[in-house]
Structure 1
């Protein structure tokens, strides 16, 4: 029996949501495809058809989270017309969303080890770093920052925020911890402000 496009999308979303729940609760190593398909009331064939294997399903869940974070960062950044405010709003949104409990294990713990650093960095670049780079380039064009290498600044800020998110998550995502990181990020950016 052939499925409609809408049924296919529903199946994919059901698998992604079920897998996200299991990967969050148990971690990649402690989840079997059988757990996921039984909960979703589907067959292993559905996973193999849409994602090839458990790692492919994990990658799709990981990418979904990256996309969600990127969209939230963009939404929060655009609440201001001021480029400095956009940068700070985006940084704060990234710290808030990336450190949420349902993202911590998948994004920060299992992501790098399951997918490897190359894939992790590729996803980070696709959903976070490219937007950050675009904003920093606009800031440079408007003579708001005095940096000769936007790539160096982008990688430095991105790396700092990724590490800060780990620290925030370890400290139970407290608002005080996020505020401490924001103070440091503001001080760092003042160093390149024109």
Structure 2
């Protein structure tokens, strides 16, 4: 009986993973609005009922794809931070890298265009993860005396909002991506410099 339950759980997880992986590829190539769920489910050998069972609807599937990508993005940003020579540079590179990721086709299409068009913003769960990571970094910088005393919960939200809005601006359809990225990175440096204790150096 236990083996049967494990096998069923494995099948459920396998079906869910297959739907997310295939949707991720389709949304990145065609966009959310242009992806047909009937064609999509048939392509992976599943029924539309399987989609509704696991995600409720097409929007629910998009949320699952967004959360998977955002988790990967945060893992990448952690590695970037960890590779930096000090905590301030790690924080700075984390923010800069987030902006640079706006040039990645999959992130540009799914996170910065489709999520905004369908939901008005990135889903709350993905936002919470990004804000929490920023707040943890700010708390450590504050404890180290690198940044001036400030309420880190609100500052983390403000920085998250700033880099997210800038990323969406960079990723707008028909935008000059590299020029917008350059402008956004310059503005980010000015913003982050304002956090530091006067005379503090990495």
TM-score (norm 1): 0.85
List alignment gaps of at least 5 residues for structure 1.
Answer: none
Aligned length: 191
- 1:129-148 equivalences under 5 Å are 129-148=131-150
Q: State yes or no: 1:183 paired with 2:192.
A: no
Q: Could you tell me how far 1:121 is from its partner in structure 2?
A: 5.3
1:180 CA drift (Å): 4.0
**1:134-160 deviations in whole A, cap 9, x for unaligned?**
101111111111142223322221122
Output one character per residue of 1:79-105: Cα deviation in whole Å (capped at 9) or x when no partner.
125111111221122123344111222
For 2:132 and 2:84, the matched residues in 1 are separated by: 19
Runs of 4+ displaced beyond 6 Å = none
Q: Does 1:75 align with 2:94?
A: no
In 2, are the aligned partners of 1:77 and 1:85 still within 8 Å (CA)?
Answer: yes
Larger Rg over CA atoms: 2
Alignment partners' CA distance in 1, 2:120 and 2:191: 29
Structure 1 contact 140–147 (Cα < 8 Å) conserved? yes
Q: Structure 2: which 5+ runs fail to align?
A: 198-202
Q: How does 1:128-167 map to 2 (within 5 A)?
A: 128-167=130-169
- Tell me the distance in 2 between the aligned counterparts of 1:90 and 1:78: 10
* C-alpha RMSD of matched pairs (Å): 2.4
Change (3 A) 1:102 1:172: farther
Q: Contact 2:147–2:196 at 8 Å: present in 1 too? A: yes
**Does 2:119 correspond to 1:115?**
yes
